[in-house]
Copies of this chain bind each other. A is one copy, B any other.
């Protein structure tokens, strides 16, 4: 039950496993594991009395000794590496086949079989297809979705038939196959409906047809772990080439993480990309926000301290779906590395191996808050956000839909009885550790832009040294509503 730890020399692994028990296995009394060091990929800390911390630059009041490790060939248990090969990425052309190869779900193509028979079967209309398949459509759904110009507005593409006129089980007097192969229905009240064979088969109530449309809504996600190669794209080509833009949006939606190169140095570059896709998302930090050291910082991002893995802005009910981290200017000294993690992978691992603690994170609402005064013209003068939501949020299908993990803005108010608090922290710490086990790190260069699915992936920053303006990162947000909208439109543009 104790997962293998990454980057720990073999000689340490047994001791490390025993040290981890207080967190993973919840045994009390033994030695405890304070995880120190801004980047757990290259260092691993154990409690060791009062030594001074060697890795993190902030004062470490608890006194921690860090063991820096070398690369090891020990295969980590978590690392099911599913990477997009860079060479593969570079040679993609946007013909139908290459994009299908990248993500087979992106295409809307279906095979339509002619209808061979139409029958009334109680409160359903039964279709028999030429391939032998039988499809059943409830009459209440058919009447509700009549496509005639009185019931459906072909310009607005919206239903004009009113629910007040919908009988609970409309009766069909007659249902038959037309010469053109369509389904014609005459209702008891005299109204007539005609449905095309393709239209009906796209909306079949079979698992297969429903799955097809689910991927129109949202592409299936592929999980990644330690060792994942983050897919790279060139910023200029995204700004000029619709095919490249679609490829990038598909990869971003599928994998949750991309790295853009050659981003121009103006602070509005990410904003410009958002507006090219659709629309930027405003937050109280403005339409984009320069993350530089502020002497009177209203956010911990504006310091040179370590930031642990986190999702941005969970203090918003409408937590931004995508985050753009644009490195306008990287500082020249040590530190400041970017660490990213696929929180979906960590959550699914946790669901499997720590079901009870997973359930705790799914059912426990956490408050996040952010209160401050605007520091520059773009920011709101005064803000005071509070939001609550679970660390791991599931949708009605049981899929992970939103992850909220942010130690900086997690509220000190905790809406739990005192005897539930320790279990909650225990679960949170396991998830924290799994995120790090799962992570990859790199140092962004000038002109790099990391773009993440912010309700899925976490990012972190090593502490760094340097003068207050040594490093200039710009943060911008976009909503998935707009990104998905553009992806679907581009799919149509390229007839996918």
A residues whose Cβ falls under 8 Å from a Cβ of B: 22-23, 26, 28, 32-37, 40, 45, 47, 50, 58-64, 123-124, 136-138, 140-141, 144-145, 150-151, 153, 155-169, 187, 189-191, 202-203, 205, 207, 210, 213-214, 216-217, 278-279, 282, 284, 296-300, 302-303, 305-306, 308, 316-318, 321, 363-365, 367, 369-372, 380, 382-388, 390, 395-397, 407-410, 412-418, 421-422, 425-426, 428-429, 432, 436, 479-482, 484-485, 488-489, 492
Q: Is the CB of A425 within 8 A of B144?
A: yes
CB contacts (< 8 Å) of A33 on chain B: these are: 167-168
Q: Is the CB of A282 within 8 A of B284?
A: no
CB contacts (< 8 Å) of A395 on chain B: these are: 365
12 sample A-B contacts, Cβ–Cβ < 8 Å, listed by A number: A22-B169, A62-B165, A155-B297, A156-B372, A157-B298, A158-B299, A158-B409, A159-B410, A169-B422, A210-B416, A213-B413, A279-B282
Q: Which residue of B lies closest to A37 (CB)?
A: B164
Measured in the bound complex, the distance between the Cα atoms of B282 and A385 in whole Å is 19
Q: Is the CB of B163 within 8 A of A428?
A: yes
Q: Is the CB of B34 within 8 A of A386?
A: no
Q: List the number of copies, as a whole number.
A: 2
CB contacts (< 8 Å) of A372 on chain B: these are: 156-157
Knowing A40-B164, A384-B492, A432-B163, say if A136 contacts B205 (CB, 8 Å): no
Measured in the bound complex, the distance between the Cα atoms of B60 and A137 in whole Å is 24
Task: Tell me which of B367, B414, B485 contacts A205 (CB under 8 A).
Answer: B414
Q: Which residue of B lies closest to A306 (CB)?
A: B162
Q: Is the CB of A62 within 8 A of B189?
A: yes
Knowing A217-B367, A489-B382, say if A158 contacts B408 (CB, 8 Å): yes
Measured in the bound complex, the distance between the Cα atoms of B367 and A202 in whole Å is 14
Measured in the bound complex, the distance between the Cα atoms of B54 and A39 in whole Å is 73
Closest 5 CB pairs of A and B: A35-B164, A205-B418, A138-B421, A384-B488, A62-B189
CB contacts (< 8 Å) of A408 on chain B: these are: 156, 158-160
Q: Is the CB of B384 within 8 A of A300?
A: no
Knowing A34-B165, A279-B380, A479-B317, say if A422 contacts B308 (CB, 8 Å): no
CB contacts (< 8 Å) of A151 on chain B: these are: 61
Give min CB distance, A277 to chain B, whole Å. Answer: 11
Give min CB distance, A165 to chain B, whole Å. Answer: 5
Give min CB distance, A387 to chain B, whole Å. Answer: 7
Knowing A153-B300, A167-B22, A395-B365, say if A415 contacts B158 (CB, 8 Å): no
Knowing A62-B191, A168-B32, say if A418 contacts B367 (CB, 8 Å): no
Measured in the bound complex, the distance between the Cα atoms of B151 and A489 in whole Å is 47
CB contacts (< 8 Å) of A203 on chain B: these are: 412-414
CB contacts (< 8 Å) of A417 on chain B: these are: 205, 207
CB contacts (< 8 Å) of A26 on chain B: these are: 168
Give min CB distance, A480 to chain B, whole Å. Answer: 6
CB contacts (< 8 Å) of A168 on chain B: these are: 22-23, 26, 28, 32-33, 425-426, 429
Give min CB distance, A178 to chain B, whole Å. Answer: 20
Knowing A159-B407, A190-B63, say if A479 contacts B388 (CB, 8 Å): no
Knowing A124-B418, A317-B481, say if A390 contacts B396 (CB, 8 Å): yes
Give min CB distance, A29 to chain B, whole Å. Answer: 9
Q: Is the CB of B385 within 8 A of A155?
A: no
Q: Is the CB of A380 within 8 A of B34?
A: no
Measured in the bound complex, the distance between the Cα atoms of B370 and A27 in whole Å is 53
Task: Tell me which of B23, B59, B169, B190 contacts A28 (CB under 8 A).
Answer: B169
Measured in the bound complex, the distance between the Cα atoms of B162 and A364 in whole Å is 21
